[in-house]
A and B are shown apart, each in its own frame.
Chain A
Amino acid sequence: MDNSKVKLTIDDREVEVPKDSTILEAALSVGIDIPYFCWHPNLESVGACRMCLVEVEKMPKLVASCVNPVAEGMVVHTNTEKVIKAREKVLEFVLTNHPLDCPTCDKGGECDLQDLTYDHGPMMTRYREDKVRWIVDTHYRFDDLQLGPLIYRNQNRCITCFRCVRITREIFGYSDLGVFGRGSKTHISAPGGEKFLNEFSGNTVEYCPVGALTARNFRYKIRPWLCEQTPTVCPMCGDGCNMTAWSHQRKGHIRNTSRRNDSIDEGMLCDRGRFGSVFSNHPDRIKSPMIKEGDTFREVQWEEALGFIAEGIKKIKSESGPEALGGIASDLVSNEEAYLFSRLMRQGVGTNNLDFRGDRKSLLGAGALKILFEMQKMSVPLEKVASFDTVFVIGTDIASTHPIYTMWLKRGIRKAGLRVLAANSRKLDFGIYSVQNFTYRPGGELALLLGLLKVIVKEKLYSDAGPFRGGQFSRWANSLQKTNYDTIAASCGLSEERISILARALAESENCLFVVGQDLWEGPLGSSCLLAINDLAVLTENNGNPRGGVNLLFDSGNYLGALNWGLTPDYLPARRHREDKVGREKIESLWNCRLPEAEGFDTIKMLEQIRKGNIKGLYLYQSDLLCDFPDWEYIHDCLSKLDLLIVHELFLTETAKMATVILPATSFVETEGTFTNTEGRIQRFQRGAAPSKGVRESWQTLSRLAQKLGAEFVYENPPEIFREMVTLSSDAAGLDYDKLGARGRIVALAERVFEPALYEVEFDSYTSGDSDYPYPLLTGDLVYHLRHLTNYNEDMMLVAPEAHLEISPEDAKSLELKEDDTVRVESARGALEVKVAISKKSPPGVVFLPRNYSDKNVNKLRDREKTLDYVRIAKA
C-alpha cells in the first residue's frame, strides 16, 4: 500500500492525509463536519446521495466529497454559500417523495434524514404534487413489506443510498438483498420474491439512514429517546462484539445496537447477538427463590432458600465429606461470577469438584489444558486476521459459530486476496466469497492432520531450521511413516492427492493462520489434535513467527474467562494449577483459608460419581445440564439420583424443574462485570436494566451463600471482585477495572516461539456405522441459536422455529426425501420426528441435527459412550 501523504487545505486548515483518502475522509479526520447519507467507513463509496457536496477551487462544479480523492495543494471549502444552498436543494429533492410519516416511523428520533434536514434542510417544501406511494398489495402491514422474518421495508421512506445492499454484499457476501427498478420506481427487495434472511440482516436496519428498513423486535415498541443506553458486550459467542443495550424503565431490555469497536466488530453485529440476546423479559424468567415440595415449587424468601441450601450442604458434608458435593457453572457467566463460584465451591463448600462444561462427551484434562493455555497465548487479534494471506480453518463451521470472525475473513478475501482453506466435516459457505473446502469424515480430523504432517515431511516442505534437525526429529519423522495413506484416506475420506494439495498450500503460504474450532479440541481426540496442530504450525513455520499464528476458537461468550478464573477442577483462579505451591499459597493467604487438597472431578467424572451414589449434592449455576449433556437418558437418571440439586438459573428450564431448590440468576444486562473473548480480551459490560423485583444479582447471592457456609467474604460490587482477582494473576495484574476502556484489554499474549511437540499421532481407524444405523449424526449450534438460551427469544424462534435434519442433496435423492418432509431419525438410544432440510453444507452420508431445541432434543439420540453417534432415517 502506498503510505505517502498529501497536503491540502480544507476550510483554511492545513490537513495532511494518506494519498488514497477521499476529501470526506480527510475532512472527518480533522473534525470538519460534512453531512452524508450514503458514505460509510466500511464500504466503498458510490456517490449516490450527493449530500456531501463541497466546493473545490479551480473545479467548475461542486464535487461529491465522498468519491473524490484528495490531491496535493487542493483547496476545499465546505461552508460557502454555494455549498449551503446545494445541501438545501439536495434535501429538498430527497424530501419530494418522502412521506414524512415520522410519527409512525420507528426510526424517528435517530434518523439521519431528520437530523440533517433540521441542520441543513429547507424550511418549506415547494413541491405540491402527489407523492409517489408504494402500497404493498397484501395490505397486511399497511405500507410495509416484510422482507424477511426480522426486517420490514417501507419503500416510501427509502432515499436510495444503497447502504443496505452494499453492506449485505460487500461486507457479508450475500446477494439476498438487491436494488430493482429505476427512477422513482427504484426499490430495495429480496431477489425473486425470496426472503431476506441472513445472519447479519440486522446491520442493514442499523445503517439505513432513514426508516426504510426497520427491525421486527423494535417495531412500534418505544421511542429511542425514552430508552437508556448502556455499553455492554455480546455473550452469544466468543467474538465478544461490543453492543449498546437499550432498555426502558417499564419494558426492560428491548434491543441492541452496535457499539463500534474497530478491534473486534467494526460496528457490525450478527443477528444472534443483536436480536437473540434480548431474553431478559421472557415470561419464563425465575422471579423468586423456590423450594420443591412434593411435585410443586413453593416461593420462598431469599434468606429461607439460602438457609435451606446451607443446611443441605452442611448435612451432606458432615455425613459424606465435601467430596460428596459438586458444582457446575456455565460458560456464559462473567469473569467475576466465575471467580466467585470457584471461591464458593472451594472455600465455602470445600471441594474441587467443579466444572463449567456440560455439553461434551469428553473433556480436556489438566495436561491438555496446559497445552491449550500455551497455545491460547499465541492467539492473533481479530483485527489482524484480514492481513494474513492464508487462513486454515479446521474443525468448525466458523460461519455459524463465530459470525463476526467470518466477517474479518471475508474482508481479507475481498481486500487482500486472502485464501481460506477449510477442513471440517461439514462444508463452509461464505456466500459470494470463496472458501476451499476439504471435507473430512466425522471423526477423521486426526487422520487428516497426520496426513498433512506426512506430506510435509515427505516433500520436505519445512525449513531446515533448528528444531527440525537432530535424532529426535528424524525419529519422529520416521514414526509418521508407519501409517500409510490408504488408512488415512479411509479414515478421513480425503485422498492422498487432496491432502497434498492442502499441505502444499499451507506450507507455501507466506503467512498462514491456523484457526482451530472448539469442536476439534473438545472432541474425543482433542488433546492429540492440539499437539498435531502445534507441530503442523511449527513445521509450516507459522507458530511463534510474527507472520503466522494459531487461533483457538472459544464458542461461547466467556468460555475462556471460565477457564481462566478457576472453573475447572485442576486450575484455581488465574490459571494456577492445584498443585502449584506458590499460586496455592497466594490464593490461600488472599482467601484466608485452606484450599481442599483432594483431586476434583470434572463434569463427566462427577456424573459417574453421582451414578455411583458418591456425590449427593450438585450446584448448577446457569447450567442447563439436562438439555445440554450429550446423553439424555443418562443425565436424567443422574440428576434424579441427587439428594440436593440446587439450580441457580435465569429460566425455568427442564433442569430447573428437577431441582430441590431454585435460585433466580441475573442475565448480562442486569449486572455488571467483564467477559473474556476468544482472543483473550477482557471487556467490561455495564448494568443496563434493573433485575425484576425480588431478584438479587448473582454475585450477591453467591457471596451471601458463602457467608452462610462460614466463608467470610463480602464484596461491595463486581469491580471490587475484579480488583481482587487480578492480583492473583501475573498476566492480568495491574489491570484497572475503570481503565479497561472502550476496546477492552488483551492480556496474556506472549511473543514466545513455540516448540514442536513432535507428537506421535495415533488414531483408531475409522469406524463406520453398521447397516442398521448408517448415518453419522453431527450436531452443533445453528447460526441463530446458542444452545437452549435462544429458545427464550422470540426473534430467533421465528427465524429458526424448529429442528430440521440437514441432509445432502444426494442422500435426499436416494432416500426420496423432499424439503420439509417429516422423517423419523432413530438411533440405538431413541427416536425423533423432525423435518428435512436439504443442505449443501452436509456432505453425502452425513446428517446434522441442531442441538438447540428442547422439544426435539438431539441428545435423546446420543450415547455418551460412543464417540460418534449413528442414526437411521425413515420417512414418517
Chain B
Amino acid sequence: MADLIRILASIFLAIPKGLATTFKHLFRKTITIDYPRKPAKFAPRYRGLHYLTRYPDGEERCVACGLCAIACPSDCIYLEPEENERGERVAKLYEIDEIRCIFCGYCEEACPEEAIRLGWEFEFSQYDRKNFVWTKEMLLENFDKLEKGRAKGFIREKKFQFRAEPETYF
C-alpha cells in the first residue's frame, strides 16, 4: 500500500517539477535564431561553400596543381590545367561537386597557394543535382562577392586567416 502511494506521489509531483524547468527556460535568453528573418551567425572557422581566391591584381591564385583534388576524401574536385598566354599554369576547368563534398576542409589545407577556401555560404540548395557542380567561374565569383562585402565593411578580419571573416555578410 505504501508503495502504491509513493508511486502515485512521484507521478503527480513530476508534473510540476517538469513544468518548473519549462518555465525557467521561458525566461532565459534564446539560443535558436529567427532564421531566415534574422541572419545566422557562425563560428569563425565554419566551413561552407568554397571560393577561389585572387591576388590583389585580380589574378587567380590557383595553379591547378591538383593537390586539393587528391586530398579530397570524397573525390569531388575535378580540375584540368592549361597554359595561359604568359606560359603560367592556370586552371582550365575547376569543378567542385558540392553535393558530394563533406566540408572537411582538407582541400583548403592541401592547397599550396591558399587558393581554394571554404567560406560561410550555406544557402545553396538546388532543385537539380546537376546544379550542385560549382565551376571555376562560380567559385571565383563567390570570392568577388566576398570582396565586395569586405569593401563595404561587412567583413571583419579573421584571426586565423590571411584575410577576413564575415560577421553579417551571409
Contact = CB atoms under 8 A, between A and B. Distances in A.
B66 A220 contact: no
Interface in B106-136: 112-113
B113 A221 contact: no
A225 interface: yes
Contacts of B63: 103-104
Interface in B70-109: 70, 78, 80-83, 86-89
A222 B80 CA distance: 6
A108 B89 contact: no
Contact of A142 (B66, B70, B86): B86
Given A104-B65, A226-B66, A221 B81 contact: yes
A387 to B, nearest CB: 46
Grouping DSSP codes into helix (H, G, I), strand (E, B) and loop, the A interface class, with mixed when no group exceeds half, is: loop
A141 interface: yes
A75 to B, nearest CB: 44
Nearest to A221: B81
B67 A219 contact: no
Interface string A82-121: 0000000000000000000011100010000000000000
Nearest to A139: B86
B109 to A, nearest CB: 14
A251 B92 CA distance: 13
B95 to A, nearest CB: 11
A223 B66 contact: yes
B78 to A, nearest CB: 8
A108 B87 CA distance: 18
Contacts of A251: 80
B87 A103 contact: no
Nearest to B78: A250
B64 interface: yes
Nearest to B88: A142
A225 B65 CA distance: 12
Contacts of A103: 63, 65, 67, 89, 112-113
Contacts of A225: 70
B83 to A, nearest CB: 5
B87 A140 contact: yes
Interface residues of B, number: 18
B139 to A, nearest CB: 18
A104 B65 CA distance: 6
Interface string A116-147: 00000000000000000000000111101000
A251 to B, nearest CB: 8
A270 B81 CA distance: 27
B70 A220 contact: no
A108 B65 contact: yes
Given A219-B83, A221-B81, A222-B81, A104 B66 contact: no
Contact of B83 (A108, A220, A226): A220
A108 B69 CA distance: 14
A142 B87 contact: yes
B70 A223 contact: yes
A220 B89 contact: yes
A142 B90 CA distance: 12
Contacts of A220: 64, 81-83, 89
B65 A144 contact: no
Interface string A181-223: 0000000000000000000000000000000000000011111
Contacts of B80: 222, 250-251
Contacts of B65: 102-104, 108, 223
Nearest to A224: B66
Nearest to A144: B87
A141 B81 contact: no
Interface of B: 63-67, 69-70, 78, 80-83, 86-89, 112-113
Q: Which 5 A-B pairs have the closest CB atoms?
A: A103-B65, A141-B87, A142-B87, A220-B81, A104-B89
Interface of A: 102-104, 108, 139-142, 144, 219-223, 225-226, 250-251
12 contacts: A102-B112, A103-B89, A108-B65, A140-B86, A141-B83, A144-B87, A219-B83, A220-B89, A222-B66, A223-B65, A223-B70, A226-B69
Given A103-B112, A141-B83, A141-B87, 18 more contacts: A102-B112, A103-B63, A103-B67, A103-B113, A104-B89, A140-B87, A142-B87, A144-B87, A219-B83, A220-B64, A220-B81, A220-B82, A221-B81, A222-B66, A222-B81, A223-B66, A223-B70, A250-B78
